[in-house]
């Protein structure tokens, strides 16, 4: 292929599945050498199916039609499975969101990369160990981790090892499908630098993402998809600063940040949320809490207080101790030292029989509600489970709760797996607020949701808090979400609180170097500077 030719070109792509489900409807796009094109949109928009169709991975049940599809100058019309396998790896690498699923759990990461080298006949057998080490180091994974199995690596290390495997044959195109979702902000920043470096070296990148701030930092062009169609596309700066389509404006308005505080994220106009009551009496506190696992301090001398109607954000990377602290607050783990009080009375260090009658005052909304639901239960049974009402009053209360979270009686008989991710999270919130708790512990409740669904859930939590005066203990690795929602924030590192204060004070003038590092790594929609684009 000549330098002037696009690396990938597809015209009028359609993908259908049995049902029939028309997942992709007439998509056309090109990717030039050295260019980053981002496809954005919600779950079900067709963005992942589009990306996978470009390398023959739409799925066994998919019917793919197009007016033309070329990769690196090769016409793929009539390609067999064997032809696609030859293309993948050599001409196009693929990185998916969940590296733990993508990597073979029975293989060390070194063997996984070595297999890619053998498949595409890169180097001799004697040269491969050195190549494997060099590939790992190129993605900032120590070469001595080649002998590690995927489960022995952190999420960030697994994702980087997967990138090393995908680029083993140095393909001119890398397709990255939600590669940074649910990763800590600093690990996310490292991965984006790796991707930007390959782009700067002349390789092309197709990035599939629902995170517009990530896209703003690395993409040259943006393709916005909805319901299988392209609704808008163009240069990144134009699309993200002067969007032409209402749906693009809706996605941009849904991104939480300091400017969105007190306003609805789920409408383009960002109308004001209901005013929140002034914080009241203390409802939950921790004093000098420690928790050890063997010799390791998971939580080390942490203290906090939470008042009625207040939101306390807890931020930090994986392993910082924030989830362990949440489990201690919920009474699911006992502190090794220190004390937790609920409503002014001891909550830790007491028998469970004394805790049980008070558990209604403390409820939880987790990242993955599906794992916390009994799959045999209907929505009605899930929401009714913690209620005291009986008979007709119980059913009426369930319907009232579902309506409060934007669902309704039509969902009563459905089971969790028949619901979307956003609907499941709404059911989880309905169940949590049913007992009228003093405190909601929210552990990464929106990290796995699309930006627009995330916006609806955050608006819902703010509305419920304004109406009921419920206190929120909100745990997240997303600093933008915390800045939007929280009144005060604790920053945790290695089990300790390194900084705390009002969210505006901590985020606008951080005093600790670690907080400054977290904020510096946070991707931004601000396109006034170069961002990550072009930087290695």
Q: For the chain, list the domains and their CATH numbers.
A: 1-91+172-253 (3.40.50.300), 98-170 (no CATH), 282-521 (3.40.50.300)
Measured CA to CA in angstroms, residue 309 lies from 41, 280, 339, 463 at distances of 34, 7, 22, 11
Mean pLDDT by 10 residues, the chain (536 residues): 78 95 96 95 90 93 96 92 88 80 89 91 92 91 92 82 90 90 80 89 92 92 97 97 95 90 89 90 98 92 97 92 94 96 96 94 88 90 94 95 92 90 90 95 86 90 93 93 96 96 96 95 75 44
CA distance 185 to 347: 33
The pLDDT, as a whole number, for residue 158 is: 86
CA distance 67 to 88: 21
Residue 227 exposed, middle or buried by CB count within 10 Å (0-12, 13-18, 19+): middle
The pLDDT, as a whole number, for residue 3 is: 54
The pLDDT, as a whole number, for residue 528 is: 65
The pLDDT, as a whole number, for residue 531 is: 43
CA distance 30 to 200: 18
- H/E element, 463: helix 451-468
Query: If DSSP codes are grouped into helix, strand and coil, which group holds residue 410?
Result: helix
Quote the distance between the C-alpha of residue 164 and its chain's center.
Answer: 22
The pLDDT, as a whole number, for residue 534 is: 45
The pLDDT, as a whole number, for residue 2 is: 52
The pLDDT, as a whole number, for residue 527 is: 75
The pLDDT, as a whole number, for residue 190 is: 85
């Amino acid at each position: 292929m000549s330098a002037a030719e696009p690396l990938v070109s597809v015209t009028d792509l359609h993908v259908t599945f049995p049902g029939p489900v028309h997942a992709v409807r007439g998509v056309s796009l090109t990717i030039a050498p050295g260019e980053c094109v981002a496809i954005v949109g919600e779950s079900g928009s067709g963005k992942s199916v589009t990306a996978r169709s470009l390398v023959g991975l739409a799925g066994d049940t998919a019917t793919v039609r197009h007016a033309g599809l070329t990769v690196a100058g090769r016409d793929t019309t009539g390609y067999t499975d064997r032809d696609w396998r030859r293309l993948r790896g050599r001409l196009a690498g693929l990185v998916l969101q969940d590296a733990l699923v993508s990597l073979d759990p029975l293989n060390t990461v070194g063997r996984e990369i070595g297999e890619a080298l053998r498949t595409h006949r890169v180097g001799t057998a004697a040269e491969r160990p050195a190549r494997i080490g060099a590939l790992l180091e190129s993605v900032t994974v120590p070469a001595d981790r080649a002998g590690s199995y995927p489960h022995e690596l952190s999420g960030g290390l697994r994702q980087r090892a997967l990138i090393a495997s995908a680029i083993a044959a140095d393909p001119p195109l890398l397709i990255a499908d939600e590669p940074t979702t649910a990763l800590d902000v600093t690990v996310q920043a490292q991965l984006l630098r790796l991707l930007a470096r390959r782009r700067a070296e002349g390789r092309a990148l197709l990035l599939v993402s629902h995170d517009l701030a990530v896209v703003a930092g690395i993409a040259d062009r943006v393709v916005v998809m909805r319901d299988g169609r392209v609704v808008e596309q163009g240069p990144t700066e134009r699309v993200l600063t002067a969007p032409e389509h209402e749906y693009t404006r809706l996605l941009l308005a849904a991104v939480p940040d300091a400017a969105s505080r007190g306003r609805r994220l789920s409408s383009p106009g960002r109308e004001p949320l209901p005013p929140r009551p002034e914080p009241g009496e203390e409802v939950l506190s921790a004093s000098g809490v420690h928790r050890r696992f063997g010799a390791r301090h998971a939580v080390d001398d942490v203290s906090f207080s939470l008042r009625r109607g207040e939101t306390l954000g807890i931020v930090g990377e994986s392993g910082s101790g924030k989830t362990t602290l949440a489990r201690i607050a919920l009474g699911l783990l006992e502190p090794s030292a220190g004390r937790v009080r609920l409503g002014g009375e001891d909550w830790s260090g007491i028998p469970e029989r004394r805790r049980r009658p008070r558990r209604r005052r403390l409820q939880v909304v987790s990242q993955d509600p599906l794992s916390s639901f009994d799959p045999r239960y209907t929505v009605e049974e899930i929401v009714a489970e913690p209620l005291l009402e009986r008979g007709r009053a119980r059913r009426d209360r369930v319907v009232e709760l579902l309506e409060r979270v934007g669902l309704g009686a039509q969902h009563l008989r459905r089971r969790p797996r028949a619901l979307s991710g956003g609907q499941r999270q709404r059911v989880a919130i309905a169940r949590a607020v049913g007992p009228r708790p003093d405190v909601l512990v929210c552990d990464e409740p929106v990290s796995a949701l699309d930006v627009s669904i995330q916006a609806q859930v955050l608006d819902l939590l703010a509305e419920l808090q304004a109406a009921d005066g419920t206190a929120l203990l909100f745990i997240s690795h997303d600093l933008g979400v915390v800045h939007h929602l929280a009144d005060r924030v604790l920053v945790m590192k290695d089990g300790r609180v390194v900084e705390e204060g009002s969210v505006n004070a901590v985020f606008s003038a951080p005093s600790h170097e670690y907080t400054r590092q977290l904020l510096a790594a946070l991707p931004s929609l601000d396109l006034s500077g170069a961002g990550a684009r072009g930087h290695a």
